[in-house]
Every structure is written in structure tokens, then in C-alpha cells.
Amino acid sequence: METHSLEITGLTKKIGKKTILDNVDLKIKKGMIVGLIGPNGAGKTTTFKCCSGLSSITSGDILVNGHSVKKDFESAVEKLSYSYGSENLYPFYDACENIRSLLPLKVITKEDIRNALSVVGLEKVMNAKIKTYSLGMKQRLSLAMAFLGKPDIILLDEPFNGVDPQGVVEFRSIIRKHRDDHGTTFVISSHNLGEISKVIDSYVFMNHGHIVKSSSGLDSGKKVFTLVLSETGCISEYLEQLGTDVVVKGNRVTFLLESSELNGILQKLASENVTVYDMATESSLEKEYIEILGGENIE
């Protein structure tokens, strides 16, 4: 029997007459890294808030590790961690004091804190006051706090905001390693589709408070390539032979492929004396985002 870390059933959230979430159903398997994707106002943060008890639920229920957020709140959130940005720390405390004050019920040793801060690269500034931290450093501390207390499920809301490119790469590897080592389930919302696509196993598209589409798997290594060529005949046949979907419009060829396979395509084009005038790439997730949301609210 499959175990689900998170089961959302018929979740509806209304504020006044406005419906923020409308009958949302979602099941997330244990140990998965799932991307929650959608434009502003889609309901991603509200979903997270309902899961963590920060927002009340109008109807429906959420089970975290089998415990109902509505009926058994304390057990439900005991092994759940929600990181919602960087501006939720005590500015006059240092990192350790923030962790102790904001996670008062977690059993955390000094060693745990040191390790968590070391993983996110904050060990050297652990005694500095938070008001001296940059946005990226606060984001790193938030991530470290999310890992403390050995949670079974971690909700990360825009974890890459304000983080430098090197940090984003580190974040991805930290998340994957944590999942691999501890079997933790991650649900990550982000507008940075390129970055999120590199870390998630599957995704859920949300818009206007609904789940628009969810996938059980993701071709995370694949990208959508668009080439503008002097001649398209030979290459489209070649790509079809590889089993790739190809769309040809005039002298423009669009296809989905592993980045590592591109070299072979370019060599084929060179051998056929086909000139490449232009080339563009996008992640498969970005393409899907645009297709599903019809280009609305692209961020």
C-alpha cells in the first residue's frame, strides 16, 4: 500500500465571498519532491498555510502523515515544517537564539544547530544578529530551520528568492541530499521554473484556486530546443527516428531532448550542410506552464 505524506481532500478556503481555494484534491507520496507551480494568486501559499494551520479551512481536510490538521492539529504539524521566506525572524537575536525561540518544542541539540547552519553555510556568522544578515542569508537560515527537528514533510515557499546563483545550486543539492538521506517529502513552490525543474520529481500546476494539472513524473533533464535552420527536412526525420516529438513551423524546429544529446544533433546538421541561424532553449516545465496557463501571468 502506498503511503502518502500529505493528503488534501476537497480543500476549500473562502475569505468573505471570495474563494481562494476551490475543492483542491492532492496526494503526495512519501519521499517525493513536488513542485507547486502557478502564477500569483493561484493559491499556492494559501494551500501551504492551510497545511500548517496558519489559515483556517472552510471545508475539506488535510492529512499530514495520516493526522488531520482540523481534528488533530498538534500531531499533524509535529513532523511538518513550513519555511515561508526570510522576514520571519527576530532581528535582535542571533541564529541560535532564533532557532531556540522559534522552535521551542523541538528537541534540538547544539550539535544539531551547528550542523544545520554548517550545511547552509552560516556557521561562521551564527553569532551575528539577524538584522545584520542579507536577504540571502536569512533565506539560508530559514532553510536550516526547516530541516531541524527531523520533519517528515517540508513545505518550502519560494526558497530561491534572494539567493545568489551559487546558493541556488547549493540549495538544490541540499534538498536532494536531505531527501535521499532522510526520506523527507518536500513540496516546493517557486516562480523560478528553470531552477525548480532541476530539483523536483513531479509537479502540480495551480491556478485560480484549482489544481490544473499534476504529473507523477518529470523529464527533469530534458529541455525544449527551438532551432531556426536553413533547411528542416533532414533533421525532422532524424529527430522522429530518435522518438522525439517534433514541431516544424516554416524554418523553425521545436523538440524536447536531453541536453547531452544536442551535440549529436548539431553534428548531424553540420554533416548535412544545414546552417543554424538561431537557437533557443527553455525547460520542459516552462513550456508546459505556458501551454497550461495560456501564457497568462507569466513570471
Partner 1 sequence: MSKIAKLTKCEIIKMYSRGAVIGFICAAIVVLAMYSLYLKEYEPQFFNSSKMGNWRNYIEQEANYTISLLNDQSIGMTENVRIQYINESKVYDYLLRHNIPPIAEDTAASMVLKANNLFIYIIVCIIMISCFFITSEYSNKTLGRLVMSGASRWKILTSKYLAILFFAIVFMLIFAVFTVLCSWIVFGFDDFSTHYVYFDGVKVVERNVMVQMMLNFLYNTVSLVSISSLAVFVAVLTKSNLIGMSLCFAVSVFGSLFSSVFAGTDWLKYTLFANTDFSRFLNNEVAFDNYTPAMSLGVLGIHTIIFVVGAYTVFCKQDVVI
Q: Could you list the residues that contact partner 1 (CB under 8 A)?
A: 15, 45, 49, 52-56, 73-74, 77-78, 80-82, 84-85, 87-93, 97, 100-106, 145
Residue 93 Cβ, how far from partner 1 at the closest point, in Å?
A: 8
Q: Decide whether 136 or 149 has the Cβ nearer to partner 1.
A: 149
Q: 100 or 268: whose CB is closer to partner 1?
A: 100
In whole angstroms, the minimum distance from the beta carbon of 272 to partner 1 comes to 56
Q: Which is nearer to partner 1, 103 or 246 (CB)?
A: 103
Of 23 and 58, CB closest to partner 1: 58
Task: Quickly list DSSP for 131-156.
Answer: GG--HHHHHHHHHHHHHTT--SEEEE
Nearest approach, Cβ of residue 54 and partner 1 (Å): 4
Residue 86 CB: number of other CB atoms within 10 A? 23
Give alpha helix (H) positions in the chain: 44-52, 73-78, 95-102, 110-119, 135-147, 165-182, 193-196, 233-241, 262-271, 284-293
CB of residue 15 to partner 1, shortest distance in Å: 8
Q: Kindly report the length of the chain.
A: 299
Q: Using the minimum distance from each CB to partner 1, give the nearer residue, 10 or 91.
A: 91
Nearer to partner 1 (CB atom), residue 84 or residue 289: 84
| Radius of gyration for the chain, computed over Cα atoms and rounded to the nearest angstrom | 22
> Residue 243 Cβ, how far from partner 1 at the closest point, in Å?
46
Q: Closest separation between CB of residue 150 and partner 1, Å?
A: 12
Angle between helices 233-241 and 262-271 (to 10 degrees): 140
Are 13 and 51 in contact, with CB atoms under 8 Å apart?
no
Which residue reads 518529470 in cell numbers?
218
Residue 250, all three cell numbers:
516554416
